[in-house]
């Protein structure tokens, strides 16, 4: 009945979002949130039934993409690739399918795909790929701002502090500095900022000012704030430490954020960076930073 409702001419993506949780429970049982407790037979049956329904209208296709992402990443990627191979599918549906691929693939496969998509003729696809390369899946995990994608196998690989070890971020493989340099003048200022961040991970400070300027316009954006910290640390830019000091002043009440700041800038060697680290230790306490 739910699929029939989504097949109606007046059905929208919002309807699919409202029905999403109920449909997952119907297919996977009341403990759908514990995928390890779902039998292979139940999973296979769900995949088959959802895939059959993916042949309907666009709303049903989007619903099927989101459901499969929650149930089986491999099946979600397979359906996404089928949609991308359909030249008759809408531009928006192709964007949805690309998003599902990036979110559902393993990190290594996702990075490879994203690097390839930087050469895509469609600006929206290039922007999505750049976002993934800079921030991972978090910012691309929704379909049309209605359906949240929750992969059953996360591709995330978060760098974290552990036993007093510095946090070091590496540039994505296959991405060339000249690609990012050309994007510093992108129409989308967020794309330009991400390009500046990725350049910094490659040891090139060329886009640092672009990234910092964009963050200054959105000082409450935690993602941009963290990228600024990582970029400054990556190029050991001691002249940009005042920016880090300003950030530190806004996060003093956030213990996790302070710890992340400290261990990210731990490899920096400049005089200003050393003084900032000392300030953090004195004010926060080394025992609280570990």
Q: What digits encode the pLDDT tens for the residues 119-130?
A: 999 999 999 999
Q: Are 272 and 248 in contact (CB under 8 A)?
A: no
pLDDT tens digit sequence for 7-42 = 999 999 999 899 888 888 888 776 555 565 667 888
Q: Which of 83, 84, 164, 160 is nearest to 116 (CA)?
A: 84
Run of H or E including 147: strand 147-148
Q: Which of 189, 188, 207, 190 is nearest to 198 (CA)?
A: 207
The CA radius of gyration of the chain, in Å to the nearest whole number, is 22
Higher pLDDT, 38 or 104: 104
Q: Work out the average pLDDT over 50-62.
A: 91
Q: Are 172 and 194 in contact (CB under 8 A)?
A: no
- Give yes or no for residue 100 having a pLDDT over 80: yes
Sequence-separated (6 or more) residues with CB below 8 Å from residue 40: none
Q: Work out the average pLDDT over 53-59.
A: 90
pLDDT tens digit sequence for 153-210 = 444 445 556 667 888 899 999 999 999 999 999 999 999 999 999 999 999 999 999 9
- What pTM value is reported for the model? 0.89
Query: What distances in angstroms separate CA 75 from CA 115, 216, 284, one per listed residue?
Result: 23, 41, 47
Q: Work out the average pLDDT over 225-254.
A: 97
- Burial group, residue 95, by CB count within 10 angstroms (0-12, 13-18, 19+): middle
Helices (H), 29-156: 40-53, 58-71, 73-84, 91-104, 107-117, 123-135
At 141 the three-state DSSP class reads coil
237: which 2 tokens?
């830019």
């Amino acid at each position: 009945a739910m699929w029939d409702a989504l097949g109606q001419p007046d059905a929208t993506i919002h309807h699919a979002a409202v029905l999403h949780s109920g449909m997952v429970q119907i297919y996977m049982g009341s403990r759908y949130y514990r995928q390890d407790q779902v039998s292979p037979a139940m999973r296979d049956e769900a995949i088959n039934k959802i895939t059959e329904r993916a042949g309907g209208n666009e709303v049903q296709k989007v619903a099927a993409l989101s459901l499969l992402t929650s149930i089986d990443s491999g099946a979600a990627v397979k359906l996404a690739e089928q949609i991308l191979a359909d030249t008759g599918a809408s531009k928006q549906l192709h964007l949805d399918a690309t998003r599902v691929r990036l979110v559902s693939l393993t990190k290594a496969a996702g990075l490879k795909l994203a690097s390839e998509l930087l050469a895509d003729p469609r600006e929206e696809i290039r922007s999505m790929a750049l976002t993934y390369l800079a921030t991972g899946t978090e910012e691309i995990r929704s379909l049309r701002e209605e359906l949240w994608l929750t992969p059953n196998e996360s591709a995330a690989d978060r760098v974290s502090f552990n036993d007093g070890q510095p946090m070091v971020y590496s540039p994505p493989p296959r991405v060339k500095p000249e690609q990012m340099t050309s994007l510093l003048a992108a129409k989308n200022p967020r794309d330009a900022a991400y390009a500046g961040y990725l350049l910094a991970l490659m040891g090139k400070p060329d886009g640092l000012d672009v990234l910092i300027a964009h963050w200054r316009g959105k000082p409450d954006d935690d993602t941009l704030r963290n990228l600024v910290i990582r970029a400054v640390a990556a190029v050991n830019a001691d002249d940009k430490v005042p920016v880090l000091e300003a950030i530190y002043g806004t996060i003093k009440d956030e213990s996790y954020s302070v710890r992340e700041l400290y261990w990210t800038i731990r490899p920096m060697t400049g005089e200003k960076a050393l003084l900032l680290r000392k300030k953090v230790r004195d004010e926060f306490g080394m025992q609280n930073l570990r």
